[in-house]
Amino acid sequence: MHLSITGQYLARYQRIAADNRESDLLPVTGAQRRFVLVRSLDPAGRPDLVPMFFAFRRGTVDPVRLRAAANHLAARHPVLRARPEVLRGTPALRLAEPDVPVERLVRAPGEDAAGAMRRALSAWTTQGSPLRLYLAEDGPDAEEEVLAVVMDHTACDGQSLARIVEELSSAYHHGIGPGELAPADAAAELAAYREAVQMQLEAERCAGSAAALEYWGGRLRNVRERAALPGPQDPGSGTLPTGAAELRLPTGAAELRLPAPASGVPFPALLDACRAMARVLYGAGHVSPIGYPWGGRPAAAAPVVGCFLNTVVFPAGTDEVPDGPSGDDPLGAEATATDWWDDLDRADTPFDEVVHAARSAGSLWSGRLDGLLTVDDARRRPPLSLGGVVGREVHIDGRHVRAPFAVSVTHGPELHIRMVWDRHVHDDRTAQDGFDAFRAALPAPERADVTVG
């Protein structure tokens, strides 16, 4: 009988929990297992972090009040106070007391707030709270200070961010801490989280069927990451480790001759644009693994804070469909859309099972990704408000990026498309050429005949 990786994990976890009668032990989802795998492939063992940066008028933020509010969140949401642990080779989360730090960063000579934030995030250790807050000023005469709300990715996904921002604002407004959380409310949230994870694991167990693994094995048989692992060398004196480029498109209209999600983001077109960029970055005739998050909590599960989104792998290759006479590869866009819809039928198959299926089919892929694509619907996320003052969300460039390049799409009043790249892997000229190819591959907004958004 076929026993999936998820099925094996569930059996081991249940034996450990029963043997130890561990009431404070929680199982991990396939998404959390993926981050454990990715961290193990990183030479430096760096965690994946999800930071949000907000600029406030200087003097707005009360660190003591903010720490109490953050610990109120950690008391309510089990995953924000849980610590990863490996028992007999089996990953799990162990509950701990809320202990969220709020650190005011001291800038080094010549350093601004962004530099202090980059330094703090690069020094993040896996021990300690999965939720941490940092506060930094640009200088003694600065009118603003920057607040970073940062989570280990094993503790949250994009769907969690709205609830975290909303509840942090509320707890700060009411001046409450962990002591104001009723035990019954904490118990109910813990029960809801346990149930959601169990439902997710059962869905993942079913999604790891022999038929699904055969599909992914065939789909990814020719995948092998192209980019070499980044080395420890400095990319250049005074040069940030990552580069960035931006493209802004109106969401009111876009040419869309491919199926699109109900959110209005032309996802197949974005994947096809990633394929065009991979051709520039890695060369023709190569199939690069590009990852994108997809899915969410099971339909019947409560909207708990946690990490549930699976990473789906898109084989971005140029050997699947020949180029058209003008080089714009029109058949490739259609093929991308068709393949993407087929992929979504198996999108719940956990990442580690997909990697195993690809390798069993003959791929030499290690599990590292050549690129990442993320889409964030910011329209559903409230602003962070502290003491009646709304923070202005800002970007801080130059942070570590997990993949050689990453494209993020923020769906707000407009589509905000950003690309960042690892300068240890791609030089700026090549990365900019890749981004130009990405932009050229997107349908032109002025030719739109389908409304987006």
Assign 227 a pLDDT band (cuts: 50, 70, 90): low
- 236: pLDDT strictly greater than 60: no
Q: Report the chain's C-alpha Rg in angstroms.
A: 22
The whole-angstrom separation of Cα 320 and Cα 331 is 10
Q: Which range is least confidently modeled, 109-113, 316-320, 380-384?
A: 316-320
The two tokens of residue 227 are 């980019």
Mean pLDDT over 326-338 rounds to 62
- 234: pLDDT strictly greater than 90: no
Residue 1: burial class (beta carbons within 10 Å; 0-12, 13-18, 19+): exposed
- Across all residues in the chain, what is the average pLDDT? 84
Report the CATH architecture of 5-205. Answer: 2-Layer Sandwich (3.30)
| pLDDT higher at 329 or 431 | 431
Q: Which range is least confidently modeled, 11-20, 221-230, 404-413, 439-448?
A: 439-448
pLDDT tens, residue by residue, 352-380: 999 999 999 999 999 999 999 998 877 77
Report phi then psi at 327, rounded to 5.
85, 0
Q: What is the distance, to the nearest Å, from the Cα of residue 328 to the centroid of all Cα atoms in its chain?
A: 30
316 to each of 122, 274, 294, 447, how far by Cα in Å?
Answer: 30, 7, 17, 26
Q: Is the separation of the CB atoms in 245 and 395 below 8 Å? A: no
pTM of the full structure: 0.86
pLDDT of residue 259: 28
Assign 257 a pLDDT band (cuts: 50, 70, 90): very low
pLDDT of residue 358: 97
Top-ranked range on mean pLDDT: pick from 12-26, 30-44, 154-168: 154-168
pLDDT of residue 378: 73
- 96: pLDDT strictly greater than 90: yes
pLDDT of residue 337: 87
Q: What is the distance, to the nearest Å, from the Cα of residue 385 to the centroid of all Cα atoms in its chain?
A: 24
The whole-angstrom separation of Cα 254 and Cα 417 is 14
Pairing of strands 385-386, 414-422: unpaired
Q: Which fold has domain 210-451?
A: Chloramphenicol Acetyltransferase (3.30.559)
Q: What is the distance, to the nearest Å, from the Cα of residue 200 to the centroid of all Cα atoms in its chain?
A: 18
- 262: pLDDT strictly greater than 70: no
Q: Where are the domains of the chain?
A: 5-205, 210-451
The whole-angstrom separation of Cα 297 and Cα 25 is 20
Q: What is the distance, to the nearest Å, from the Cα of residue 321 to the centroid of all Cα atoms in its chain?
A: 30
For the chain, give the number of residues. Answer: 453
Burial 325-364 (b: 16+ CB within 10 A, else e): eeeebeebbebbbebbeebeebbbbbbbbbbbbbbebebe
Assign 226 a pLDDT band (cuts: 50, 70, 90): confident
CATH topology identical between 5-205 and 210-451: yes
The whole-angstrom separation of Cα 295 and Cα 258 is 20
pLDDT tens, residue by residue, 265-283: 678 889 999 999 999 999 8
pLDDT of residue 23: 76
Tracing tokens 């087929």 back to the chain, one arrives at 342
Top-ranked range on mean pLDDT: pick from 190-204, 233-247, 284-298: 190-204
Residue 2: burial class (beta carbons within 10 Å; 0-12, 13-18, 19+): exposed
The whole-angstrom separation of Cα 409 and Cα 270 is 9
Q: Which range is least confidently modeled, 180-184, 324-328, 424-428?
A: 324-328
Neighbours of 39 (CB within 10 A): 18
For residue 326, how many C-alpha atoms fall within 13 Å in the half-sphere facing its CB?
5
- 61: pLDDT strictly greater than 60: yes
pLDDT of residue 89: 84
Mean pLDDT over 314-319 rounds to 77
Q: Is the separation of the CB atoms in 289 and 315 below 8 Å? A: yes
**Dihedral sign, Cα of residue 41, residue 352, residue 50, residue 345:** positive
pLDDT tens, residue by residue, 131-147: 999 999 887 778 899 99
Q: Which helix (H) or strand (E) holds 407?
A: strand 405-411
Q: Which percentage of the chain shows pLDDT scores above 70?
A: 85
The whole-angstrom separation of Cα 274 and Cα 67 is 41
pLDDT of residue 377: 76
- 304: pLDDT strictly greater than 70: yes
Q: Which helix (H) or strand (E) holds 258?
A: none
